[in-house]
């Protein structure tokens, strides 16, 4: 089930009709409050959220969702402002689509986000549940990241997937194509840098001079640490 939170009836009809054409079930909400009330009783597979809601700040909804839920989240809005785009992705949205858009492009993005959340478990990964590196500990099953000082935080789905890819390829340069390829789909190309930035802020004392996640200009990123698996 996909929840569509959109107050413009014409846009809601277009998106709903497009989703139904490609065999997605959709439920429409025209206010943030109506959506949040429904969320208390049933969670969707994906939320498509407009930023310009009549009753609340949609970016606050993004923050609330990522603090308490793990499902796909796409922002679809007419606000083509770089600050909104960066903030939405920083708060945990999986994608940011501006209006107007091509219906087939929207469907491609919906499928990409759903694959990220619905991919079948990899037996090899399930056999190895925890990684240790540079004094840190990361649990693949719970997304919990424990610092050398013992402080624990829970990563978002996108952050956890990106960190896992890097932990599986330590001391190797990973291009953007590699980070986006196959089962390693962690974000659309334009948001890879944002995901890296978020991970750096969690892992580095000085993110501007990163020691663990290094930028290799013109090539990609390198995770510079020995990784031990439990």
Half-sphere exposure of 56 (CA within 13 A, CB side): 16
Query: Taking the model in full, what pTM does it have?
Result: 0.56
Give the CA dihedral 188, 190, 195, 198, nearest 10 degrees.
Answer: -160
Q: Would you say 116 and 124 are in contact if contact means Cβ atoms under 8 Å apart?
A: no
Q: Which residues make beta-bridge pairs with 152?
A: 146
Domains of the chain: 2-118 (3.40.50.2300), 123-229 (1.10.10.10)
Distance of alpha carbon 101 from alpha carbon 110, whole angstroms: 13
Distance of alpha carbon 84 from alpha carbon 91, whole angstroms: 10
> Within 10 A of 200 (CB to CB), how many other CB atoms are there?
19
Distance of alpha carbon 36 from alpha carbon 23, whole angstroms: 25
Distance of alpha carbon 129 from alpha carbon 158, whole angstroms: 18
Distance of alpha carbon 159 from alpha carbon 12, whole angstroms: 30
Q: Which residue has the tokens 């990522």?
A: 66
According to DSSP, residue 207 is labeled: G
At residue 87, the 3 state secondary structure works out as helix
Render each residue's pLDDT in the chain as its tens digit; 230 residues.
Answer: 999 999 999 999 999 999 999 889 999 999 999 999 998 888 899 999 998 889 888 888 888 787 778 788 998 887 777 777 777 777 778 888 888 888 888 998 898 888 877 655 555 545 557 999 999 999 988 889 999 999 998 888 778 888 998 998 999 988 876 776 433 444 444 567 778 888 898 998 887 888 899 998 888 899 999 999 98
Q: CA nearest 116: which of 204, 216, 213, 45?
A: 45
Instruction: Give the C-alpha distances (Å, rounded to integers) separating 101 from 33, 70, 72, 95, 153.
Output: 26, 26, 19, 13, 36
């Amino acid at each position: 089930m996909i929840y569509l939170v959109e107050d413009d009836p014409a846009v809601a009809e277009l998106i709903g009709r497009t989703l139904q054409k490609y065999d997605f079930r959709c439920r429409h909400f025209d206010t943030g409050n109506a959506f949040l009330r429904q969320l208390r009783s049933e969670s969707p597979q994906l939320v498509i959220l407009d930023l310009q809601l009549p009753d609340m700040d949609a970016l606050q909804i993004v923050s609330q969702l990522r603090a308490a839920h793990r499902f796909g989240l796409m922002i679809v809005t007419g606000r083509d402002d770089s600050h909104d785009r960066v903030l939405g992705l920083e708060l945990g949205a999986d994608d940011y689509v501006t209006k107007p858009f091509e219906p087939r492009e929207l469907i491609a993005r919906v499928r990409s986000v759903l694959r990220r959340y619905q991919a079948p478990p990899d037996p090899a990964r399930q056999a190895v549940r925890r990684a240790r590196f540079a004094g840190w500990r990361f649990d693949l099953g719970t997304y919990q990241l424990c610092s050398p000082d013992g402080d624990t935080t829970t990563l978002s789905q996108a952050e956890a997937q990106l960190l896992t890819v890097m932990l599986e390829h330590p001391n190797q340069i990973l291009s953007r194509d590699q980070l986006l390829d196959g089962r390693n789909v962690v974000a659309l190309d334009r948001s890879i840098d944002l995901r890296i930035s978020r991970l750096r802020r969690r892992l580095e004392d000085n993110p501007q001079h990163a020691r663990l996640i290094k930028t290799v200009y013109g090539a990609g990123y390198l995770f510079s640490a020995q990784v031990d698996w439990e």
